[in-house]
Amino acid sequence: MGYLSLYRKYRPRRFSELIGQERVAELLRASVASGQVSHAYLFSGPRGCGKTSAARILARAVNCLDPQGGEPCNRCEVCLSMLEGSSLDLVEIDGASNRGIDEVRQMKEQASMVPFACRRKVYIIDEVHMLTEPAFNALLKTLEEPPLHVLFVLATTDPQRVPVTVRSRCQQLPFRRVDSERCAAFLRRICEEEGIPFDEGALRDLAMASEGSLRDALSLLEQVAASGGARAEEVRSFLGISSYRRAFEFLRGLGGPLPRLEDLVEEVRRGGDLKAFLENVYDWCYRALKASLVGHGGDEDVLELLSVLPGDRALGVMEVALEGLRLLRMGLREMVVADFFLAELLRGLSPRAEPEGPIESSPRSSPGAGAFGEAVPYPPSEAAPSVASGAGEDPEGAVPEELLEAARGRSFLLTSLLLQCRARLEGDSLVLIPEGGFRFHLDMLSERLKEIEEMASSVLGVSSVRLEGGGEEDPDPFGPSAEASVSPKEVLAALPLEENGPGGEDEGPLPRKLVDFLRGMGAELLSFSPLEAEEEEEDEFDSEILQR
């Protein structure tokens, strides 16, 4: 017998051998043992996680001459013929290359015939989402009411592309990615059985590179084993990824005196692929964060990392690593992203000095949020003092926080209006001054003055609220100048409309949406008719009005 690839040699032959799919394996085993096997299954999940292997095990289990608790014996004539690929009652179809309606019709004709040597004829359709729409339609009736001797197993990596009418006729079983720790343990067992020299760090790198696919992990192991074994340096050189151990050493080094930025950049450069380096950093921080919540389980590396990166710090480094991965996906050069990542680490891990003056918020920070979750108190701003303290006549300042909190519980619009105001106390009255003093802002506040007075009386103890300002004109919404004020009625009246009676039909240059919008603002429709202008100019005019 010729050489057999590792992923074929170690393909699972029993439900209990499916790694990382215990829930699916137990359900299928119980169904076979109780004789309640459905007529159609849909196995969905990422590549290399065991969908086709589970389908083949199910085919042997339902036809096995000596089943053992729902598992196939793999010794009887039926099981051996299916393992050798010579059984006529196990038909595997590649949905990517046999995706037309003619292939489905041929399969339906063959399915109507009784099995040759088994109790049930099993059809495994791999990558079923690649079938055409007519092919799916031809398959529907057979899936809904198949012959009693037929079992369909559909496998796909993209279940959303399978029509819902097909999914509803099958029992859908989701397969999951295998986590890196279990994948590394599986590779360790294979290396021991095959006599392949290995390092633990190399196996972790292979498991990370496989992204939860055991088939990919075995293929990578087979390639590196050809060069003498799964050693750390060979694996890192072959895959072009940073070592998992190197990421740990990098994070552990953050616990001492902060190194210079150049040293950190060189560390990332020696790490190889930046994407894999950031993923490894994220994974180590996740393990540290998880250990801080549920315990480290005796893992000395995680315990050592916890002394450097407690929960809040680990979460902060994870956020920076995720941002770096996002920038890489956007196409930024690796060294630019590396500089960003390391600069953010230095900024987050550096000791914070107490601010001497007002702190201005930036787009990347929020009030009270320090580096990596450390609270940084904001001192009161001298430029905008609160009017809630003191008595008598206070200078203008920010709207009291108590009033803003009450507004947030009522209306987002009311909160926005108050945030754009200044305030001062005059005796037992609160005076609100809209910033900019525009009439529109003042009108909006006037409509809600009673509601504001109720809130102010409740939280501030004032007897009344007064509005001040409003002498400035609103900016012109139809021109670059901000000096002219235009009301909705004036906007509609200024449009070049001809007299054709009020309530004219929607046949002029004004879209119905614009007319409804202006009416909703209190405008009165005069009349309109087509303008004597070129069609392109009308479209541009309408578009400009709608945008403004």
Name which residue leads in pLDDT, 10 or 469: 10
d(CA 505, CA 528): 9
For residues 233-249, average pLDDT: 72
Residue 154 clears pLDDT 70, i.e. is over it: yes
Q: Which two tokens stand for residue 342?
A: 């390391």
Q: Which of 38-52, 158-172, 204-218, 525-539 has the lowest mean pLDDT?
A: 525-539
Query: Which strand ranges, in their side-by-side order, compose the sheet holding 171-174?
Result: 90-94, 121-126, 150-156, 40-44, 171-174
**Beta-ladder partners of 124:** 92, 153
Which DSSP category does 500 fall into?
S
Reported as a pLDDT band with limits 50, 70 and 90, residue 533 is very low
Q: Identify the pLDDT of residue 187.
A: 93
Reported as a pLDDT band with limits 50, 70 and 90, residue 511 is low
Residue 528 clears pLDDT 60, i.e. is over it: no
Q: Which two tokens stand for residue 332?
A: 């930024």
What's the predicted TM-score (pTM) here?
0.54
Q: Which two tokens stand for residue 540?
A: 């541009």
Q: Identify the pLDDT of residue 479.
A: 43
d(CA 360, CA 498): 54
d(CA 451, CA 72): 74
Residue 55 clears pLDDT 70, i.e. is over it: yes
Of 392, 346, 354, the closest CA to residue 372 belongs to 346
Q: Which two tokens stand for residue 241?
A: 């990824």
Q: Identify the pLDDT of residue 23.
A: 92
Name which residue leads in pLDDT, 241 or 124: 124
6 and 193 Cβ atoms separated by less than 8 Å: no
Residue 43 clears pLDDT 80, i.e. is over it: yes
Q: Which residues contact 185 (CB under 8 A, 6 or more apart)?
A: none
For residues 279-295, average pLDDT: 84
Q: Which two tokens stand for residue 387?
A: 């009017």
Name which residue leads in pLDDT, 508 or 429: 429
d(CA 176, CA 183): 13
d(CA 450, CA 448): 6
Amino acid at 32: V
Residue 477 clears pLDDT 90, i.e. is over it: no
Residue-averaged pLDDT of the chain: 77
Of 121, 178, 122, the closest CA to residue 154 belongs to 122
Q: Identify the pLDDT of residue 535.
A: 45
Q: Identify the pLDDT of residue 170.
A: 93
Q: Which of 271-280, 447-456, 457-466, 496-505 has the lowest mean pLDDT?
A: 496-505
Of 422, 405, 410, 397, the closest CA to residue 451 belongs to 410
61-85, pLDDT tens digit by residue? 999 999 989 999 999 999 999 999 8
321-339, pLDDT tens digit by residue? 999 999 888 888 887 888 7
Residue 220 clears pLDDT 70, i.e. is over it: yes
For residues 304-322, average pLDDT: 85
Task: Say how many C-beta atoms besides its own lie within 10 A of residue 294's C-beta.
Answer: 8
Residue 419 clears pLDDT 70, i.e. is over it: yes
Let me know if 91 is exposed, middle or buried by CB neighbors in 10 A (0-12, 13-18, 19+).
Answer: middle
| Greatest mean pLDDT range, 172-181, 228-237, 287-296, 304-313 | 172-181
| Greatest mean pLDDT range, 201-215, 301-315, 507-521 | 201-215
Q: Which residue in this structure is represented by tokens 């916890």?
A: 306
Residue 411 clears pLDDT 80, i.e. is over it: no
Cα 514 to chain centroid distance, Å, stands at: 37
Residue 460 clears pLDDT 90, i.e. is over it: no
Reported as a pLDDT band with limits 50, 70 and 90, residue 387 is low
Task: Say how many C-beta atoms besides its own lie within 10 A of residue 157's C-beta.
Answer: 18
422 and 397 Cβ atoms separated by less than 8 Å: yes
Residue 136 clears pLDDT 60, i.e. is over it: yes
Q: Identify the pLDDT of residue 480.
A: 43
For residues 521-530, average pLDDT: 55
For residues 398-421, average pLDDT: 80
510 and 542 Cβ atoms separated by less than 8 Å: yes
184 and 217 Cβ atoms separated by less than 8 Å: no
Q: Identify the pLDDT of residue 372.
A: 52
Q: Which two tokens stand for residue 369?
A: 């949020």
Task: Write out the DSSP string of 119-169.
Answer: SSEEEEEETGGGS-HHHHHHHHHHHHS--TTEEEEEEES-GGGS-HHHHTT
- φ, ψ at 91 (rounded to 5°): -115, 120
12 and 218 Cβ atoms separated by less than 8 Å: no
For residues 442-452, average pLDDT: 83
Residue 383 clears pLDDT 50, i.e. is over it: no
Q: Which of 101-110, 127-136, 435-444 has the lowest mean pLDDT?
A: 435-444
Of 287, 284, 288, the closest CA to residue 276 belongs to 284
Reported as a pLDDT band with limits 50, 70 and 90, residue 243 is low
Name which residue leads in pLDDT, 353 or 199: 199
Q: Identify the pLDDT of residue 161.
A: 92
Contacts 24+ apart (CB under 8 A), 533-539: 533/509, 538/509
d(CA 62, CA 15): 13
Q: Identify the pLDDT of residue 89.
A: 92
Name which residue leads in pLDDT, 370 or 142: 142
Residue 503 clears pLDDT 70, i.e. is over it: no
d(CA 60, CA 153): 13
Task: Write out the DSSP string of 171-191.
Answer: EEEE--PPPHHHHHHHHHHHH
